[in-house]
Structure 1
């Protein structure tokens, strides 16, 4: 149990606990709005920003955040253009993000090992600056969700009704996209860009299988996220496993249990 007293592990626990609040919460909104794949898209674009950050010697997470926010505006613009084919916007932006990342990888062969830590996660290397960024993102996301909870609820379940009632739908769509970009940029160093969508979607899938109301779903999605992240970190630390992969596999196990319990309850 000596690992619990290690400073790097304590930073990992703090960062993981914070991101386990915001990532599943934003994921719930995305899943309910049929936009689950937006997590993968923004994560790939963020990696392109991280690569550019290493190339120009600027804090990589900050550059990744800028890229993700720009991409979120791009997704919203394309969704407006292709209303009938909303998923097309996600595919286009993801393709562009991957293409740009591959070019930047070629230009900066010397830093590819550093970028890999963002692809697969490197929670044990979190610095105090990283924790400050994650804490700031958590505060921003929770504040906005609490302030606009009624508007976000209406937008999530019936966008047309929200527009008819006078809600500025475009503004809130962009706001949700920006919040998602913030969360993903903060999370990629914890679970990695390749796994960040799992932290967004799997807790949401678990909570939707178990909850009977939106309020219950919000509570369960955060609870499940916290349990999976903290337990995953502890297991990975004790058994010397990859933290990101361990967290995701735990989430999949929780989802399997949730689906089994739902079937048993129905029977």
Structure 2
């Protein structure tokens, strides 16, 4: 126990740990705010689909030797718009549109990575996350964009709340539901791209889904769900970063497993209360 405490204190002396904590906590907050709107509207799989799209965008960025953040954000946002358009105009169900875009994106990413074998190791770090690759530029972008996401959600909170619980009523009271859907897509896209550095493209969607469904097991109100989700998400990230340093575990996987443990605990609590 004493060694673990000493290693935790030692971890705080490393810049890459501090960067991972800062970026990770900001992403956790974004995921907590977004998660409830996506899960309750049954749009949670769009996060998984866009995460797969980000795999292709990172492969493109590495091929062009450009910043993955700068390349991924516009391309992932564009993909989210295409998914919405396919759902609205193409007559496809949401899950079909997501599957179509995500599978195509993964195919493109695999093709690019096989052609340019030189960056396969870098691509692996983006797939599953690596706190060692978070640069100062990533931190700056993450801080700015996370603040934008959080402030936007707070500003449009009432509108997002309305369309989450009753989309038809939201239309009746004059809300532009279509524009709000696009806003959620943009915010989700940005959050997913920001989370790539910490947990990777294959695991980032779980940070949006897990804290919310965990909170829904024990919460009694909308705001309470967001608060519990926020605590679970931030706690999982902070503990995940420290545990990955102490025991040399993969950071992304550790964070997701901690989220899963929290879900199981809250689910058991719900079952016990129901008896």
Output the TM-score relative to the length of structure 1. Answer: 0.96
Q: Which runs of 5+ in 2 are unaligned?
A: 1-6
CA distance in 1, matches of 2:224, 2:182: 26
Query: 1:92-111, aligned counterparts within 5 Å?
Result: 92-111=100-119
Secondary structure in 2 aligned to 1:252?
helix
**Matched position secondary structure for 2:44:** coil
Moved over 2 A (4+): 81-86
Of 238, 245, 250, the match for 1:242: 250
In structure 1, the residue matched to 2:72 is 64
Which shows bigger deviation, 143-152 or 163-172? 163-172
Structure 1 residue 86 displacement after superposition = 2.4
Residue 213 of structure 2 is aligned to residue 209 of structure 1? no
Cα RMSD after superposing both structures: 1.3
- Give the stretch that moved more between structures: 223-232 or 18-27: 18-27
Equivalent residues of 1:20, 1:229 under 8 A apart = yes
| Equivalent in 116, 136, 139 of residue 144 of structure 2 | 136
Change (3 A) 1:215 1:242: same
Offset of 1:83 from its aligned partner?
5.7
| Counterpart for residue 52 of structure 2 | 44
The 1-side partners of 2:172 and 2:62 are apart by: 46
Counterpart-to-counterpart distance in 1, 2:168 and 2:131: 41
What secondary structure sits across from 1:241 in the alignment?
coil
Whole-angstrom distance in 2 between the partners of 1:125 and 1:111: 14
3-state SS in 2 of match to 1:190: helix
Corresponding residue for residue 30 of structure 1: 38
Displacement of 1:106 in angstroms is: 2.2
Moved more, 169-178 or 81-90: 81-90
Corresponding residue number in structure 2 for 1:221: 229
Q: Distance in 1 between matches of 2:273 and 2:92?
A: 37
CA distance in structure 1 between the aligned counterparts of 2:63 and 2:196, rounded to whole angstroms: 18
Cα deviation, 1:95-143, whole Å, max 9, x if unaligned, reads: 2211211221122211111111110101232111111111112111111
Q: Give the aligned length.
A: 267
Q: Which moved more, 1:2-11 or 1:239-248?
A: 2-11
One of 189, 194, 209 as aligned partner of 1:186: 194
**Gaps (5+ residues) in structure 1?**
none
C-alpha separation in 1, matches of 2:117 and 2:173? 53
1:84 to partner: Cα distance: 7.0
Partners of 2:170 and 2:237 lie apart in 1 by: 35
Q: Which residue of 1 aligns with 2:4?
A: none
Task: Give the alignment of 1:85-96 within 5 angstroms.
Answer: 85-96=93-104
Give the match for residue 3 of structure 2. Answer: none
Query: What is the distance in 2 between the residues matched to 1:43 and 1:85?
Result: 19
8 Å Cα contact 2:33-2:153 kept in structure 1: no
Query: Is residue 41–residue 97 contact of structure 1 (8 Å, CA) maintained in 2?
Result: no
Partner of residue 252, structure 1: 260
Task: Report if the CA contact (8 A) 1:82-1:88 is conserved.
Answer: no
